[in-house]
């Protein structure tokens, strides 16, 4: 990981968290136990504080930032999909922010809510727990079902397991020059894409 202090404030990473070597952490960043931060994520705590609570994941190319004096928080078991941007907002416990979604300053996403991929959540937006938010600007569509929460929780558990896999088995290597015979597949259990769970 690429870690930088600024104005005498240094990022904090719990030893049980995994931060990919290409991720960048700057300043007032606090990463809790069992968290996962993916490749090329940028967590810029050079103005506001950034907090990942226990078991949260922030995936590839996500950006977290905020205005001075603000906190950007991903609560316990929060799940931030590839390419999402969080700016000065709070993501509730066990909530999901979909790929390439944007959540702006002062927004509060309720626990166990789902922000759809590519949604744009305006500044100061607030929603109740278990809200399904879609669109640009994001609007409440309906309540999240028990089945959807179970699907989301299974996906988050897979990322929590990925934290352990990365800490114990990931290493930098040179690529092979050809595919070896009987090349194995990753054996990590089965979490189906949402569209396959709806059939």
Write down all domains in the chain, each with its CATH number in brackets.
Answer: 2-143 (2.160.10.10)
- The length of the chain, given as a count of residues: 199
pTM to 2 decimals? 0.92
Share of the chain above pLDDT 90, in %: 90
pLDDT tens digits, 4-38: 999 999 999 999 999 999 999 999 999 999 999 99
CB atoms inside a 10 Å sphere around CB 56:
30
Q: What is the DSSP letter of 178?
A: S
pLDDT tens digits, 153-182: 999 999 999 999 999 999 999 998 999 999
CB atoms inside a 10 Å sphere around CB 126:
12
Q: Give every CB contact of residue 26 below 8 A, 6+ residues apart in sequence.
A: 3, 4, 6, 11, 42, 43, 44, 45, 46
């Amino acid at each position: 990981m690429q870690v930088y202090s600024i104005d005498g404030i240094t990022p904090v990473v719990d030893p049980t968290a995994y931060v990919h070597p290409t991720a960048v952490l700057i300043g007032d960043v606090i990463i809790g136990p069992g968290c996962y931060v993916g490749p090329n994520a940028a967590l810029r705590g050079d103005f506001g504080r950034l907090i990942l609570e226990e078991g949260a994941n922030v995936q590839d190319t996500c950006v977290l930032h905020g205005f001075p004096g603000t906190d950007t928080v991903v609560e316990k078991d929060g799940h931030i999909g590839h390419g999402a941007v969080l700016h000065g907002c709070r993501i509730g416990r066990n909530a999901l922010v979909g790929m390439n979604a944007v959540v702006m300053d002062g927004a509060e996403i309720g626990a166990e809510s789902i922000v759809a991929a590519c949604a744009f959540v305006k500044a100061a937006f607030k929603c109740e727990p278990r809200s399904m938010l879609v669109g640009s600007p994001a609007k409440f569509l309906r309540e999240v079902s028990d089945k959807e929460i179970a699907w989301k929780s299974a996906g988050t558990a897979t990322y929590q397991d990925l934290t352990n896999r990365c800490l114990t088995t990931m290493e930098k290597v040179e690529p092979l020059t050809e595919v070896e015979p009987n090349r194995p597949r990753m054996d990590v259990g089965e979490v189906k894409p949402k569209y396959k769970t709806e059939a």
